[in-house]
Amino acid sequence: MTPQTAALIFCTLMALLAVFQLALALGAPLGRFAWGGGHERLPTGFRIGSVISIGLYALFSAIIAERAGLTTIFPMRSISDIGAWVITGYSALGILMNAISRSKSERYTMTPVVIALFATSLVVALSPTP
């Protein structure tokens, strides 16, 4: 898989997760898939967390897209070089956190998604600088 393809897959997954987080923030009864699965409709604090997540997903996507050579957003190349590794590490931690969730819905749905995010971000992080 090329770094560009991996970045496009990563960004697509992030966009889908952003839509999911927006639905959660707006009160959709999907809480069993996120934030530990303890609430069908998220309380205010978790809804705020979902909105913050959307911003983080956009930032992560921009970093991965730039590292793969798809965009030029950041003033210094080191932001995307280091950022890609931070995102890869964050995704690895996300695998663990989703895999140990008390919620079966979250565990069985989000763990594979985060594995895909980890794999695609790793491809991008390991790729030569474009």
Average pLDDT of the chain is 94
Residue 75 burial (CB < 10 Å; 0-12/13-18/19+)? exposed
- The residue-averaged pLDDT of 12-20 equals 98
Q: For position 126, what pLDDT does the model report?
A: 96
pLDDT exceeds cutoff 90 at 38: no
pLDDT tens readout for residues 77-102: 888 999 999 999 999 999 999 999 99
Q: What share of the chain is helix, strand, coil (3-state, %, to 5)?
A: 75, 0, 25
Q: For position 14, what pLDDT does the model report?
A: 98
